[in-house]
């Protein structure tokens, strides 16, 4: 390929639709200088596929792809095989195109660069080469005409007939100017004069008449054929760009829309925001970003498989589309996240949309005629208060979202300054978290659980706090998921368990009145084989009473029936209390409750927060309380913030409540002073 930049050359010249195809992988294969086959160009999809990277990095070197590509070629079925030649700039290429498919239906397009014939602008065109050129022109997919310096058509290939309906033979001898719009003739002459002077030229914006009388927009390329420095004739490539326009429109559509759901994608969000922020600059208007994240969608993915999950995502998008106000825009932000933008909406209007969404998710989704309940958490950020760039706004809405998630999900929140953890990214957070124990940045706060009838406090929940020396306070809703993903949760979980047992021992020695402390156990920790032994060892090591310790396990950790039952039974043998956290938000069936040795059910905050105004939540909470009581379990309501909520819970016979109404989680000194040192 000489010194031509293969990527630029092909991207700009060979059917961009093939090369940058959004679904197919295109790979250009050719011989390198040594005559060995190599990958000369691969589109983004192909690069990420063959390099097994999630994101294709821009590259001009494809050498490493040849080995995996060759292996792949051998395994694939040929679906279509065709030859074509391209006549570009002044170079001729013969291409072999092969469409090959995988069993899954995924398509690969292999384009083999057969031979690059010499340039047309060549003085010593041998007769053999001439014949070869002629055949390339005759069979070329592009319409090509030859004309002389008097604008007379001397030849037209078959593609001219296909594209414009004119028969080559009839055209021969007529003037090409007759095919042009009268008002464009001058422009055409100017264009051609450069080719007549020996230059290869191209232009768009002119039209050619179709045999049936209408005009088609065309791209023109004029290549002078020289002999002895004299222009012999001009090859004129005339591409009908109306098809191109349609392809472009299609490509444009594809690049702006999510393939699965058909709604706008993230790319569109970026483009729209560019325009919006220009418009908004200097105006008093705002733009709300309602950021939705499906709660625990991973479980749907696991139980229904990819197809099922995709189907549900489509239905969710459809439902959102229906409820979106007319001026709103709906985007899929990848995965199980959606974003709705509202132009110049007041906080009340934005809130109303968020409420409508939540209400819409109260209804089940169907797949294979089975009902699935999916809840959604919503974080809201508003331009310009919360951010002026898209990245900032999305980060803020995500922080608000994280805030909702950590407080029981299925609710919405507007972004607030205090949600902002100043960690620039998760990787950095993880590396700091690794050293958090050693640097003594972690501590435990305790939130009291109040007996609704008597007001007495005899149990607490231990909640982890992280005060990073560089970035300050980080909420567990942010760092616990990172600890879980990185495996750090084992070390951190052990530390919490150890601290709590040590604390209990100290209180026991000081002869404070006996209290129980609940420790949050992450599902990963719970499933680790050594978990039960560890709990036992800690209790023995500190010599504490087993019933002063409670393990809090989320509902989602209890899915595998036999395994779970074994672990729980062993824990019960030790004598610790077992509670189920965030009850009502998991997907597990209620039937397990009967069989597991569970002592306490903690009703998730999402049912409590509007229990006083939402009859359904009130009914759910009451049902959970009744059910738990029938099974001999105690009930703790989480997230109680208002008197009225406590009132309703008391009437429903709920034993205990935990929430800001009574106290936030407090440091150990405060706990001792307030609740232990004096008799209550
Ligand atoms: P969780 O186990 O559901 O803990 C209750 C969360 O609700 C706590 O948030 C608590 O501060 C908050 N909360 C309590 N009362 C109210 C209220 O009235 N209103 C509102 N809005 N919120 C209330 P926190 O401390 O930020 O913890 C978030 C989550 O992080 C916890 O949710 C738990 O899942 C996890 N976590 C905390 N400590 C630990 C730990 O030691 N180990 C593990 N594995 N997870 C932990
Ligand atoms: Ca908890
Ligand atoms: Ca909880």
3-state SS, 181-204, equals CHHHHHHHHHHHHHHHCCCCEEEE
Q: Is the peptide bond before 384 cis (omega within 30 degrees of 0)?
A: yes
Residues 113-129, mean pLDDT to the nearest whole number: 48
407 in ligand 1 pocket by Cβ < 6 Å?
yes
The highest-confidence range among 40-49, 617-626, 650-659, by mean pLDDT, is: 650-659
463 in ligand 1 pocket by Cβ < 6 Å?
yes
Residue 196 burial class via C-beta count within 10 angstroms: exposed 0-12, middle 13-18, buried 19 and up: middle
Q: Ligand 3 centroid vs 552 CA: distance in angstroms?
A: 9
Question: Ligand 1, atom 31: nearest CA belongs to which residue?
Answer: 406
Tell me the per-residue pLDDT of 346-386, one tens digit each, with 9 for 90 and over. Answer: 988 999 999 999 999 999 999 998 889 999 999 999 999 88
Q: Which atom of ligand 1 is nearest to the CA of 521?
A: 44
H or E element at residue 653:
none
476 in ligand 1 pocket by Cβ < 6 Å?
yes
Indicate if the pLDDT at residue 15 is higher than 70.
no
Distance CA 575, CA 567 (A): 13
265 in ligand 1 pocket by Cβ < 6 Å?
no
Mark 311-327 as b/e (b = at least 16 C-beta within 10 Å): bbbebbbeebeeebeee
What is the per-residue pLDDT for 163? 87
Indicate if the pLDDT at residue 121 is higher than 70.
no
Distance CA 54, CA 473 (A): 33
Pair type for strands 287-294 and 337-343 = antiparallel
What is the per-residue pLDDT for 281? 85
Kindly provide the residue ranges of all beta strands, DSSP E only, lying in 89-192, ordered along the sequence: 91-101, 107-117, 144-147, 153-156
* Contact by Cβ (8 Å): 601, 579: yes
Quote the pTM value: 0.49
Distance CA 289, CA 583 (A): 30
Tell me the per-residue pLDDT of 327-338, one tens digit each, with 9 for 90 and over. Answer: 899 999 988 999
H or E element at residue 280:
helix 266-280
Residues 178-186, mean pLDDT to the nearest whole number: 93
Indicate if the pLDDT at residue 465 is higher than 70.
yes
Which backbone phi and psi does 182 adopt, to 5 degrees? -55, -45
Q: Which atom of ligand 1 is nearest to the CA of 522?
A: 44
Tell me the per-residue pLDDT of 438-456, one tens digit each, with 9 for 90 and over. Answer: 999 999 999 999 999 999 9
User: Where residue 2 falls among pLDDT bands split at 50, 70, 90?
Assistant: very low
**DSSP H stretches of helix in 472-614:** 476-486, 488-509, 523-527, 531-542, 561-574, 591-595, 605-608
Judged by average pLDDT, the poorest of 286-295, 454-463, 550-559 is 550-559
Indicate if the pLDDT at residue 55 is higher than 60.
no
Residues 152-165, mean pLDDT to the nearest whole number: 89
Coil/strand/helix, residue 563:
helix
Q: Which atom of ligand 1 is nearest to the CA of 658?
A: 15
Q: Which residues surround ligand 2, an ion (CB under 5 A)?
A: 520, 552, 581
477 in ligand 1 pocket by Cβ < 6 Å?
yes
Distances (CA, A) of 457 to 235, 383, 555, 657: 93, 44, 25, 10
User: Where residue 468 falls among pLDDT bands split at 50, 70, 90?
Assistant: confident
581 in ligand 1 pocket by Cβ < 6 Å?
yes
SS3 letters across 439-484: CCCEEEEEEEEEECCCCCEEEEEEEEEEEECCCEEECHHHHHHHHH
Q: Ligand 2 centroid vs 291 CA: distance in angstroms?
A: 25
Q: Which atom of ligand 1 is nearest to the CA of 604?
A: 3
Residue 372 burial class via C-beta count within 10 angstroms: exposed 0-12, middle 13-18, buried 19 and up: middle
Of 572 and 97, the structure prediction assigns the larger pLDDT to 572
Distance CA 599, CA 677 (A): 28
Distance CA 159, CA 171 (A): 13
Which backbone phi and psi does 118 adopt, to 5 degrees? -65, 165
What is the per-residue pLDDT for 534? 96
Question: Ligand 1, atom 32: nearest CA belongs to which residue?
Answer: 406
* Contact by Cβ (8 Å): 222, 195: yes
Residues 587-592, mean pLDDT to the nearest whole number: 58
DSSP letter (8 states) at residue 152: B
Indicate if the pLDDT at residue 114 is higher than 70.
no
Q: Ligand 3 centroid vs 529 CA: distance in angstroms?
A: 24
475 in ligand 1 pocket by Cβ < 6 Å?
yes
What is the per-residue pLDDT for 131? 61
Judged by average pLDDT, the poorest of 461-475, 569-583, 632-646 is 461-475
Q: Ligand 3 centroid vs 268 CA: distance in angstroms?
A: 37
Distance CA 518, CA 548 (A): 9
Q: Ligand 3 centroid vs 555 CA: distance in angstroms?
A: 10
Indicate if the pLDDT at residue 19 is higher than 60.
no
Indicate if the pLDDT at residue 122 is higher than 80.
no
Which backbone phi and psi does 116 adopt, to 5 degrees? -100, 115
What is the per-residue pLDDT for 95? 67
Question: Ligand 1, atom 7: nearest CA belongs to which residue?
Answer: 407
User: What spatial distance separates the first Cα and last Cα of the chain, rounded to whole Å?
Assistant: 88
Residues 611-618, mean pLDDT to the nearest whole number: 89
Nearest CA among 174, 130, 128 for reference residue 151: 174
Residue 69 burial class via C-beta count within 10 angstroms: exposed 0-12, middle 13-18, buried 19 and up: buried
Q: Ligand 1 centroid vs 68 CA: distance in angstroms?
A: 48
Q: How many separate helices (H) and strands (E) can be counted in the chain?
A: 24, 27
Q: Ligand 2 centroid vs 309 CA: distance in angstroms?
A: 29
Judged by average pLDDT, the poorest of 149-153, 528-532, 585-589 is 585-589
What is the per-residue pLDDT for 124? 45
Q: Ligand 2 centroid vs 519 CA: distance in angstroms?
A: 7
Which backbone phi and psi does 292 adopt, to 5 degrees? -110, 140
Tell me the per-residue pLDDT of 403-439, one tens digit each, with 9 for 90 and over. Answer: 788 767 778 999 887 666 666 677 888 999 999 999 9
What is the per-residue pLDDT for 135? 67
| Token pair of 361 as six digits | 């998710």
Looking up tokens 């009914």 gives 619
Distance CA 667, CA 650 (A): 28
Distance CA 522, CA 507 (A): 26
What is the per-residue pLDDT for 221? 87
Spatial strand order of the sheet with 107-117 comes to: 37-42, 25-31, 107-117, 91-101, 77-88
Distance CA 511, CA 501 (A): 15
Distance CA 384, CA 282 (A): 11
Question: Ligand 1, atom 19: nearest CA belongs to which residue?
Answer: 639
* Contact by Cβ (8 Å): 283, 386: no
Q: Which atom of ligand 1 is nearest to the CA of 484?
A: 44
Judged by average pLDDT, the poorest of 95-99, 118-122, 352-356, 625-629 is 118-122
Q: Which atom of ligand 1 is nearest to the CA of 660?
A: 18
User: To the nearest whole percent, how much of the chain has pLDDT over 90?
Assistant: 45
659 in ligand 1 pocket by Cβ < 6 Å?
yes
| Token pair of 389 as six digits | 């760039």
* Contact by Cβ (8 Å): 508, 544: yes
Q: Which residues contact 566 (CB under 8 A, 6 or more apart)?
A: none
Q: Which ligand is nearest to the CA of 463?
A: 1
What is the per-residue pLDDT for 488? 95
Task: For helices 426-434 and 488-509, give the axis angle rounded to 10 degrees.
Answer: 50
Q: Which ligand is nearest to the CA of 603?
A: 3
Q: Which atom of ligand 1 is nearest to the CA of 552?
A: 2
| Token pair of 620 as six digits | 């759910």
| Token pair of 227 as six digits | 């002999």
* Contact by Cβ (8 Å): 377, 350: no
User: Where residue 532 falls among pLDDT bands split at 50, 70, 90?
Assistant: very high
Question: Ligand 1, atom 23: nearest CA belongs to which residue?
Answer: 639
Q: Which atom of ligand 1 is nearest to the CA of 493?
A: 42
Q: Ligand 3 centroid vs 582 CA: distance in angstroms?
A: 4
Q: Which ligand is nearest to the CA of 405?
A: 1
Mutate to test the pocket of ligand 1, among 400, 406, 603, 607 (most ligand atoms within 8 A of CB): 406
Distances (CA, A) of 415 to 197, 350, 378: 66, 13, 10
Indicate if the pLDDT at residue 30 is higher than 80.
no
Indicate if the pLDDT at residue 125 is higher than 50.
no
522 in ligand 1 pocket by Cβ < 6 Å?
yes
Mutate to test the pocket of ligand 1, among 403, 405, 407, 584 (most ligand atoms within 8 A of CB): 407
Residues 180-209, mean pLDDT to the nearest whole number: 91
What is the per-residue pLDDT for 78? 74
Residues 189-197, mean pLDDT to the nearest whole number: 92
Q: What share of the chain is helix, strand, coil (3-state, %, to 5)?
A: 45, 25, 30
What is the per-residue pLDDT for 181? 93
Indicate if the pLDDT at residue 477 is higher than 80.
yes
* Contact by Cβ (8 Å): 421, 398: no
What count of other Cβ atoms lies within 10 Å of the Cβ of residue 178? Answer: 11
Q: Which atom of ligand 1 is nearest to the CA of 444?
A: 41
């Amino acid at each position: 390929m000489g010194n031509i930049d293969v990527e630029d050359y092909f991207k700009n010249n060979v059917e961009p639709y093939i090369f940058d195809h959004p679904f197919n992988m295109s790979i250009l294969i050719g011989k390198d200088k040594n005559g060995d086959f190599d990958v000369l160009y691969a589109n983004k999809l192909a690069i990420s596929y063959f390099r097994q990277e999630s994101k294709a990095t821009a590259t001009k070197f494809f050498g490493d792809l040849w080995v995996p590509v060759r292996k792949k070629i051998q395994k694939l079925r040929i679906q279509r095989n065709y030859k074509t030649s391209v006549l570009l700039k002044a170079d001729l290429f013969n291409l072999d195109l092969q469409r090959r498919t995988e069993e899954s239906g995924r398509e690969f397009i292999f384009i083999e660069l057969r031979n690059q014939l010499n340039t047309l602008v060549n003085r010593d065109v041998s007769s053999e080469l001439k014949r070869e050129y002629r055949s390339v022109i005759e069979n070329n997919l592009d319409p090509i005409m030859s004309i002389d310096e008097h604008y007379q058509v001397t030849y037209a290939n078959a593609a001219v007939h296909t594209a414009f309906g004119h028969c080559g033979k009839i055209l021969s001898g007529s003037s090409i100017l007759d095919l042009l719009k009268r008002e464009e003739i001058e422009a055409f002459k100017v264009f051609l004069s450069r080719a007549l002077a020996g230059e290869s030229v191209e232009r768009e914006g002119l039209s050619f008449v179709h045999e049936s009388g209408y005009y088609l927009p065309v791209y023109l390329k004029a290549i002078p054929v020289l002999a002895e420095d004299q222009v012999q004739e001009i090859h004129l490539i005339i591409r009908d760009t109306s098809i191109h326009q349609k392809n472009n429109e299609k490509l444009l559509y594809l690049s702006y829309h999510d393939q699965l759901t058909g709604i706008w994608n993230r790319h569109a969000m970026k483009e729209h925001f560019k325009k919006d922020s220009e418009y908004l600059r200097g105006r008093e208007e705002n733009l709300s970003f309602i950021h939705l994240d499906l709660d625990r969608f991973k479980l749907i993915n696991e139980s229904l498989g990819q197809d099922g999950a995709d189907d549900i995502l489509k239905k969710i998008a459809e439902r959102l589309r229906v409820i979106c106000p007319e001026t709103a825009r709906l985007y899929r932000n990848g995965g199980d996240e959606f974003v709705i933008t509202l132009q110049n909406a007041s906080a009340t209007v934005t809130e109303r949309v968020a409420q409508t969404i939540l209400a819409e998710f109260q209804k089940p989704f169907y797949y294979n005629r089975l009902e699935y309940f999916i809840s959604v958490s919503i974080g809201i950020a508003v331009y310009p208060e919360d951010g002026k760039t898209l990245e900032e706004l999305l980060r803020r809405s995500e922080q608000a979202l994280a805030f909702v998630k950590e407080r029981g999900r299925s609710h919405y929140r507007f972004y607030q300054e205090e949600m902002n953890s100043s960690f620039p990214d998760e990787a950095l957070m993880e590396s700091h978290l690794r050293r958090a124990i050693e640097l003594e940045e972690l501590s435990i706060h305790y939130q009291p659980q109040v007996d609704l009838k008597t007001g007495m406090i005899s149990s607490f929940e231990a909640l982890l706090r992280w005060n990073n020396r560089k970035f300050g306070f980080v909420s567990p809703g942010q760092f616990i998921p990172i600890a879980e993903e990185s495996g750090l949760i084992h070390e951190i979980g052990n530390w919490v368990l150890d601290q709590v047992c040590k604390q209990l021992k100290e209180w026991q020695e000081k002869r404070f009145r006996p209290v129980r402390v609940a420790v949050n156990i992450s599902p990963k920790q719970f499933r680790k084989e050594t978990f039960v032994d560890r709990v036992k060892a800690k209790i023995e090591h500190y010599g504490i009473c087993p019933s002063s310790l409670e393990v809090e396990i989320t509902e989602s950790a209890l899915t595998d029936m036999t395994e779970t039952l074994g672990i729980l039974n062993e824990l019960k043998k030790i004598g610790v209390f077992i509670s189920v956290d965030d009850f009502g938000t998991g997907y597990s069936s209620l039937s397990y409750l009967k069989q597991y040795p569970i002592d306490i059910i903690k009703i998730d905050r999402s049912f409590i927060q509007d229990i006083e105004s939402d009859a359904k939540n009130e009914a759910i909470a009451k049902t959970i309380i009744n059910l738990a009581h029938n099974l001999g379990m105690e009930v703790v309501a989480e997230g109680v913030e208002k008197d009225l909520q406590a009132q309703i819970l008391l009437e429903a016979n709920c034993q205990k409540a935990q929430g800001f109404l009574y106290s936030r989680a407090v440091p150990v000194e405060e706990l001792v002073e307030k609740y232990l040192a004096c008799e209550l």
